[in-house]
Chains A and B, each alone.
Chain A
Amino acid sequence: DTAVSQTPKYLVTQMGNDKSIKCEQNLGHDTMYWYKQDSKKFLKIMFSYNNKELIINETVPNRFSPKSPDKAHLNLHINSLELGDSAVYFCASSPSQSIWRQGSTTPLHFGNGTRLTVT
């Protein structure tokens, strides 16, 4: 009965490789996100999709390409991996992007993260 699940949990790869992380949510939410958490634990938004449409792209290098085949899935493909890509990547979902207005009490639901290590 996991709400937001992402795979794999750990990913170790060499520089220059291409890898993908998958995310699925069974909450019926319209909006999904990818966040990156660096070694200092800072959690920064990368992308947001609403009903399969890209709505937020936070100046992420174009080596990162999100894909949403349907509103329950948001995958992240990374080309030509670099050392600096090493981080924990979190998928999250919310009922809609418009919840971030005054008075909203709706939480963001996170997956348990994918720890990517580039060697």
Chain B
Amino acid sequence: TQLLEQSPQFLSIQEGENLTVYCNSSSVFSSLQWYRQEPGEGPVLLVTVVTGGEVKKLKRLTFQFGDARKDSSLHITAAQPGDTGLYLCGSGNTGKLIFGQGTTLQVKP
């Protein structure tokens, strides 16, 4: 069974700082999705990465897929309080999507 490990588990930063969160696996990802979950809501897809080495940008968010497709990172530039939430990486496996344990991000004004 593929396991996804995310780090760090918790991150509390000031508005304007940069940060990176990581998602790693012992086996190769077929594809990887990043979701953000805000308090009281369900996770919402941010991006899907498929090709090793792929980089995708979503405004201030940059997603990178490792060359060997066993790791991924999410970098946020100049974090805003609106970026606060739980960031989850997920990978498809045998008809289901499994998730890492998530990174809880708090951005203080």
Specify which chain B residues have a CB less than 8 angstroms from the CB of A43 in the assembled complex: 43, 88, 99, 102
User: CB-CB < 8 A to A103: which residues of B?
Assistant: 30-31, 50
Q: Is the CB of B40 within 8 A of A113?
A: yes
Stretch in contact with the other chain, from A60-68, A79-87, A90-98: A90-98
> Of residues 60 to 109 in B, which have CB atoms within 8 Å of A's CB atoms?
86, 88, 90, 92-99, 101-102, 104
**Partner of B101 from A4, A40, A111 at Cβ < 8 Å:** A40
> A97 CA to B95 CA in the complex, in Å?
5
Q: Compute how far the CA of A107 lies from the CA of B31 in the bound complex, rounded to whole angstroms.
A: 12
Contact with B along A3-21 (1 / 0, CB 8 A): 0100000000000000000
Given A41-B104, A105-B50, A107-B33, verify A100-B40 contact (CB < 8 Å).
no
The tally of residues in A whose CB lies under 8 Å from a CB in B reads 28
CB pair A104 B101 closer than 8 Å: no
Q: Which size bracket describes the interface of B in this complex?
A: 20 to 34
Q: Which residues of B contact A (CB under 8 A)?
A: 30-31, 33, 35, 40-45, 48, 50, 86, 88, 90, 92-99, 101-102, 104
A interface with B by C-beta (< 8 Å): 4, 33, 40-45, 48, 55-56, 90, 92, 97-105, 107-108, 110-113
